[in-house]
Chain A
Amino acid sequence: MTAGLWQNWVLPGIWITVQLLVYSAALAGVVAFAVGMARTHRSGLVRFLAGFYTEIFRGTSALILMFWLFFVLPPLLGWQLVPMWAAVLALGLSYGAYGAEIVRGALNSVAPAQREAGIALSLTPWQRMRLILLPQAVPEMIPPFCNLLIELLKGTALVSLLGVGDVSFAAYLVRLATQESAQVYTISLVIYFVLAFVLTRSMKVLERKTKRNVGIEPEPGVLGGMFAKRAEAKAAGSTVSGGVSK
Chain B
Amino acid sequence: MNWDWSAVADFMPRFWDGVLITLQILVLGSLISFTLGLVWAIGFRAPTRFVRWPVNAVTEFIRTTPLLVQLFFLYFVLPEWGVQFSALTTGTIAIGLHYSTYTAQVYRAGIEAVPPGQWEAAKALSLPAHRTWFAVILPQAIRRITPALGNYVIAMLKDTPLLAAIGVLEMLQQSRLESASTFQYTEPLTVIGIAFILIAYPASLLVRTLERRLVR
Contacts and interface: CB of A to CB of B under 8 A. Distances in A.
Contact of B68 (A55, A60, A158, A180): A158
Size class of the A contact interface (CB-based, 8 Å): 35 or more
Nearest to A159: B68
B76 interface: yes
Given A168-B72, A181-B73, A185-B69, A62 B158 contact: yes
Interface in A160-187: 160-161, 167-168, 171-172, 175, 180-182, 185-186
A133 B200 CA distance: 32
Interface in B25-80: 61, 64-70, 72-73, 76-77, 80
Given A59-B197, A68-B193, A75 B158 contact: no
A132 interface: no
Interface in A115-142: none
Contacts of B81: 182
19 contacts: A59-B196, A59-B197, A60-B197, A60-B200, A61-B193, A61-B196, A67-B172, A68-B190, A153-B64, A154-B64, A154-B66, A157-B69, A161-B165, A172-B72, A175-B72, A181-B77, A182-B81, A189-B61, A189-B73
Given A185-B77, A196-B64, A64 B161 contact: yes
Nearest to A61: B158
A71 interface: yes
Interface of A: 55-56, 58-65, 67-68, 71-72, 75-77, 150, 153-158, 160-161, 167-168, 171-172, 175, 180-182, 185-186, 188-189, 192-193, 196-197
A72 B190 contact: yes
Given A168-B69, A185-B77, A197-B64, A64 B186 contact: no
Given A157-B69, A171-B69, A55 B201 contact: yes
Contacts of B16: none
Interface residues of B, number: 35
B172 A63 contact: yes
Contact of B161 (A63, A157, A185, A193): A63
* A interface, over-half SS: helix
A218 B35 CA distance: 37
A63 to B, nearest CB: 5
B189 A67 contact: yes
A71 B185 contact: yes
B67 A61 contact: no
A160 B81 CA distance: 25
B105 to A, nearest CB: 10
Contacts of B200: 58-60
Contacts of B69: 157, 167-168, 171, 185, 188-189, 192
Given A61-B196, A175-B76, A71 B64 contact: no
Interface of B: 1, 61, 64-70, 72-73, 76-77, 80-81, 158-162, 164-165, 172, 179, 185-186, 189-190, 192-193, 196-197, 200-201, 204
A182 B196 contact: no
Given A61-B160, A64-B193, 4 more contacts: A76-B1, A150-B64, A157-B67, A167-B69
Contacts of A185: 69, 72-73, 76-77
Contacts of B61: 189, 193
A79 B98 CA distance: 37
Contact of A182 (B64, B65, B77, B172): B77
A65 B179 CA distance: 16
Nearest to B187: A72
Contacts of B72: 168, 171-172, 175, 181, 185
A64 B189 contact: yes
A161 B72 CA distance: 12
Question: Which of A59, A150, A171, A181 has most B Cβ within 10 Å?
Answer: A59
A193 B68 CA distance: 14
The 3 A-B pairs of least Cβ separation, nearest first, read A157-B66, A181-B76, A59-B197
A182 B80 CA distance: 8
